[in-house]
Amino acid sequence: MARKPTAKPVAAGAFLPMSRAEMDVLGWSELDVLIITGDAYVDHPSFGAAMIGRVLEADGFRVGIVAQPDWKSLEAVTVMGAPRLFVGVTAGNLDSMVSNYTVARHKRKLDVYSAGGVPGRRPNHAAVVYAQLARRAFPGVPVVLGGIEASMRRVAHYDYWEDKLRPSILTDSKADLLVYGMGERAVREVASRLRDGRRDLGGIAGTAVLLGAKASASADFSKCIMLPSWEDLQADVRLLLPLTKVTEAQQTPYCGKRLVQMHGARAVVMEPPAMPVDGPELDALYEYPFQRAAHSSYQDPVPGFATIKDSVIVSRGCAGGCTFCGLGLHQGKFLSSRSVESVLKEVRRLGELTSFRGTVSDLGGPTANLYAARNGHVEECRECHRPSCLWPGICPHFEINEEPGLEMLRGARQVPGVKHVFVQSGIRMDVALRTPEYLRELVQHHVSGHMKVAPEHLQPDVLRRMRKPAGDFPAFMAKFSELSALVGKQQYLVPYFISNFPGCTGQDMGVVEDFLKQQRWNLQQVQDFIPLPMTASTAMYVTGLDFTSGKPIPVVRNAGDREKQKIMLRPNQPAGAKFPTTHFDAVD
């Protein structure tokens, strides 16, 4: 049971404090927890710092936020004084290198998670820089890493932007603990232990820690899985393949084992993932008093918030296991969904806001039409180490249920003040073809004229390396067209294709090019492949080996050759036309 604060909590109409003046209004003399984030502070459940802050607040802790501090100044993070328990550090909703650089390794002109879109407000490798800053600013105060950057760099990994291997982020950051995954369970345990005077933060599910040399030498790792060491990896980069396979296979809270990776004489010990938050506990997270707004101190809007401010998250986790995506390694493959009533309650609150204009932009999550689907509910799931429940085919134990989704969509349309409800998160086409009533409802009522789908490629060998099903896209296209005509609507699919994927040749890309010519399609965007830390596709990119067979595959590396594949995705556009590239979907 969490201890109640001695000072009054944040009022229902207030943000978490960002300054000493805001603390004074609350009557707080000190913070229990300080969160440093690389994003602007937006009090919305889609922003990790806000969610973790509200979770701790609900448990009675006094939480403050420092957003995008000047990393060259200690004073930038000491504005509210030293926290009593710990400093939480996150690079933000994206890996800071993705935020700062394009696929061509050019500096970005826009940071969508900064006020006004101004770039340069977060450092490269922000989690490391902020953690080191916190260590200097608050000697003796524990530093805890979290967020996507920490999750995907928790073991030794390849950094595309520096084009080199890097050790676990724990070694550079000097943090006391790393929380990976969504983090609510782990951070509650951390706060509880520190509140009770316990400094030992080991053994918490969903965390990793760097032991000292003496502790590493005396530890019993006999029941752990030993990963290739940092030194072994540097000597033979091909070891990135088995390292990634083992890490991915143990990404299960039911049967995952502790992983250990030696860095010299010191051991990085990674506990199995935390159990996903589900049921009433998941519903409760989204009922915290989020302001659904950027902090009042900002004069300019935060572009990334504008796209999701009228959206509602309905589910978590991704069962797809796509090799280019970090969701399975961050949120996990086991799905959890909010109750229909909880979702409709949030839609009703949204409809009461003066800023709401009648359109719910999205009822979604990692994959919108996996709402209410289940895995992990039978013993076979709990003994399974497969990274995907949907590839090479849908697992017979994967439970698909379209009824709750239909109830949710129909209920949301009836909420007073709601004119339109759209689903923009993207959907699994293989699952949609198995849920005809849901798909009919989606096409008739919840498409804003364009529906995002992600076939990613059309060549079977490339799709296999992506862990994407082959053959579903043409069938889905035909069904979408049929249903749109049936309801008398002119609607369009917006497909995403990936260029320059490991193992994809110019001839393979030609399959997509020919299809686009045949359909006379002008793509709005293309996902040009970026090797994200810890993913299976990155292991293939670095080693030049197929992830399954271990056989050599071609890999496109230099900018000129990469541009050739990108051009093949715009065969119906005039030469020189601007062609936007996206890769955020793989890491959001």
315 and 423 together in one domain = yes
Residue 225 falls inside a structural domain: no
Report CA torsion sign: 67, 71, 74, 76: negative
pLDDT cut 70: percent of the chain above it: 95
Q: Which of 167, 192, 209 is the last residue of a domain?
A: 209
Tell me how far apart the alpha carbons of residues 140 and 145 are, in angstroms, rounded to a whole number. Answer: 16
438 and 505 together in one domain = no
78 and 194 together in one domain = yes
pLDDT digit string (tens) for 388-425?
999 999 999 999 999 999 999 999 999 999 999 999 98
478 and 339 together in one domain = no
Give the CATH number for residue 415. 3.30.750.210
Residues 6+ apart with CB under 8 A from 249: 385, 386, 387
**What tokens does 508 get?**
């393979």
458 and 435 together in one domain = no
pLDDT digit string (tens) for 158-203?
999 999 999 999 999 999 999 999 999 999 999 999 999 998 999 9
485 and 552 together in one domain = yes
Q: Which of 446, 470, 494 is the last residue of a domain?
A: 446
191 and 318 together in one domain = no
CA 218 to chain centre: 36
pLDDT cut 90: percent of the chain above it: 90
Q: 3-class DSSP state for residue 205?
A: coil
**Backbone phi, then psi, for 447, in 5-degree steps?**
-110, 130
- Number of domains the chain contains: 3
435 and 463 together in one domain = no
Tell me how far apart the alpha carbons of residues 383 and 116 are, in angstroms, rounded to a whole number. Answer: 48
Residue 37 falls inside a structural domain: yes
pLDDT digit string (tens) for 86-113?
999 999 999 999 999 999 999 999 999 9
Please say if the pLDDT value at position 4 is more than 50. Answer: no
Question: Residue 311: beta bridge partners?
Answer: 362
Residue 320 falls inside a structural domain: yes
Report CA torsion sign: 533, 535, 540, 545: positive
* Bond from prior residue into 167 cis (ω within 30 degrees of 0): no
Instruction: Name the region of 527 (left: φ>0; alpha: ψ -120 to 50; beta: rest).
Output: beta
Q: Burial level of 204, CB count in 10 A (0-12/13-18/19+)?
A: buried
Report CA torsion sign: 142, 148, 149, 151: positive
Residue 267 falls inside a structural domain: no
Please say if the pLDDT value at position 27 is more than 70. Answer: yes
Confidence of residue 576 (pLDDT cuts 50, 70, 90): low
Tell me how far apart the alpha carbons of residues 537 and 163 are, in angstroms, rounded to a whole number. Answer: 15
**Backbone phi, then psi, for 17, in 5-degree steps?**
-70, 145
Tell me how far apart the alpha carbons of residues 415 and 306 are, in angstroms, rounded to a whole number. Answer: 22
Q: What is the pLDDT of residue 211?
A: 98
Residue 410 falls inside a structural domain: yes
Residue 293 falls inside a structural domain: no
101 and 136 together in one domain = yes
Q: Which of 176, 191, 209 is the last residue of a domain?
A: 209
What Å distances lie between residue 435 and 314, 440, 506, CA to CA? Answer: 18, 9, 36
Radius of gyration of the chain, Cα coordinates, nearest whole angstrom: 23
118 and 98 together in one domain = yes
**What tokens does 393 get?**
């085919």
Confidence of residue 584 (pLDDT cuts 50, 70, 90): very low
Q: Burial level of 78, CB count in 10 A (0-12/13-18/19+)?
A: middle
Please say if the pLDDT value at position 273 is more than 90. Answer: yes
Q: Tell me which residue range forms the domain holding 567.
A: 449-588
441 and 456 together in one domain = no
Please say if the pLDDT value at position 3 is more than 50. Answer: no
Residue 92 falls inside a structural domain: yes
Q: State pTM to two decimals.
A: 0.94
* Bond from prior residue into 404 cis (ω within 30 degrees of 0): no
414 and 512 together in one domain = no
Residue 3 falls inside a structural domain: no
Give the CATH number for residue 47. 3.40.50.280
